[in-house]
Structure 1
Amino acid sequence: MQFSHSDAMWQAFPELRAGALHGDGIHADVDVEAVIASFYAIAEARLAQAQEGEFPEIQAWRRGFSRMGLKPTQYRCASEALLRRFRQEHALPRLHPLIDLCNAISLAFAIPIAVFDAEKIAGDLEVRRARGDETYLTFAGEIEHPEPDEVIFADGAGNAHARRWTNRQSGLSAVRETTRSVLIVAEALHVSAGEDMGKLVATVADVLAGHWPVAPKMAVLSVESARFEF
């Protein structure tokens, strides 16, 4: 299996940098509270200086959403949505230890991170423009079809595992108690994205290895090195 972005996506967003990790052996019986608190503290300190809309990482995604034809204050990248909620509530809901950790890391880096149950992905996974006939399963169990040309995470069976790029994941490949194999993807568009993505990938890898019997495979993707085999 491989994860990639289409050539058209790289042409439209050559500044994109992505991080990808794959690991087996995930389970929900781990204590992650201390590590989450450390990333929350980083986010709290940064939000004390400025609101999330002033962060260069978030501003870059807002520009990216505008280039996709979306209103950036109507549809927000996942990290902005998390930061907004965290600023207001000073905490995030607990879902699964791995999701909770990745959400906390996303807050600290202000970079969206998606976590997929790899066993729910059919064939390769590609970030590309939608045809409009792909199937998206909501968390409420409803079926939707992305708009033509919408940016989605599409697998070989025509399942959309995320809509509006980094806006919302699908319920189909959401991490659950039974999840054992995961694909983690982070994406950024800001000026220092390459340097920051390297740090983020290393951070996620350390957290994975520190809590699960996992030796994650990982890569930082760019237009010159655009595919991740897992």
Structure 2
Amino acid sequence: MCLAETLPMTFSYAPTLLQDFPELVSSTRHVADVRASGDVSRLVQPFCDLAARRLDGRSESDLPEIQAWRRAFSKMGLKPTQYRCASEALLRRFRKEGSLPSIHPLVDLCNGISLAFAIPIAVFDLDKVRGGLQVRHAAGTESYETFAGEIEHPEPGEVIFADEAGQAHARRWTNRQSGLSAIRPQTDRILIVAEAMHETAGEDMARLGEALDGALREVGLIFK
């Protein structure tokens, strides 16, 4: 497996979205030649321990990273307690159950880091993405495949991850990814996207990137 420094496709944000959310800070990684085997629990556990310490005596909704996404969801016209960003949903489940289910080594690793930093991390199967991927407002004609295989159409104006074929790979921005580009045992190429909006997002994203790169190297990844 290898961690590439450049993306094999275009990833971008619509200018109008950046105008509405100038506080957004994001970071991407492209992982190629992925292996689905391997135990990453040793690497994931320290991140879970950090999340547990941050949650000690308080709720995930008290964290500044989550509060920033709640404000963003409200700005998009969504109820923050009805539609949660991915990191809040993970933290909420972790707080209640004390652990997260194992899905795929790289997904498990990204989920652990997302827990520790309270920052949403999306992981896409690049072989399911057609052309460039852009975070933008939906026209309402795009197709979104649920994990159950059903096809939905995002509401016009909803923030989605859309490719050039009109496939929506995530709905309500960081709320829910598509089953179409979900990571599977046969997945070979992965795009990782981390996004934050809180006051110290820049420095925290840099630390997240260092943690992610270090963990990926630990499981046998190298830079091209």
- For the criterion TM > 0.5, the same-fold answer is yes
Which among 13, 32, 45 is matched to residue 53 of structure 2?
A: 45
User: 1:125-204 maps to which residues of 2 (within 5 A)?
Assistant: 125-204=133-212
User: 1:31-110 maps to which residues of 2 (within 5 A)?
Assistant: 31-110=39-118
Asked whether the 8 Å contact 1:30–1:97 carries over to 2, the reply is yes
* Cα distance in structure 2, aligned partners of 1:176 and 1:153: 19
Q: What CA deviation, in whole Å up to 9, does each residue of 1:91-113 have, x standing for no partner?
A: 01111111111001000000000
> Which deviates more from structure 2 when the two are superposed, residues 26-35 or residues 107-116?
26-35
Amino acid at match of 2:17: M
Amino acid at match of 1:42: L
Amino acid at match of 2:34: I
Tell me the SS of whatever aligns to 1:153: strand
* Shift in Å, 1:68: 0.2
Unaligned residue ranges in structure 2 (runs of 5+): 1-8
Between the aligned residues of both structures, percent identity stands at 60
* Cα distance in structure 1, aligned partners of 2:143 and 2:181: 13
Other-structure match for 1:225: none
Amino acid at match of 1:40: C
> TM-score, normalised to structure 1's length?
0.92
Tell me the SS of whatever aligns to 2:223: coil
* Shift in Å, 1:208: 1.5
**RMSD, matched Cα:** 0.9
> TM-score, normalised to structure 2's length?
0.94
* Cα distance in structure 1, aligned partners of 2:17 and 2:61: 24
Q: What CA deviation, in whole Å up to 9, does each residue of 1:10-65 have, x standing for no partner?
A: 00000000010101121111110111111110001111042111000000000000
* Cα distance in structure 1, aligned partners of 2:154 and 2:164: 16
- Indicate the structure whose relative CO is greater, using CA pairs within 8 Å and at least 6 residues apart: 1
Unaligned residue ranges in structure 1 (runs of 5+): 217-230
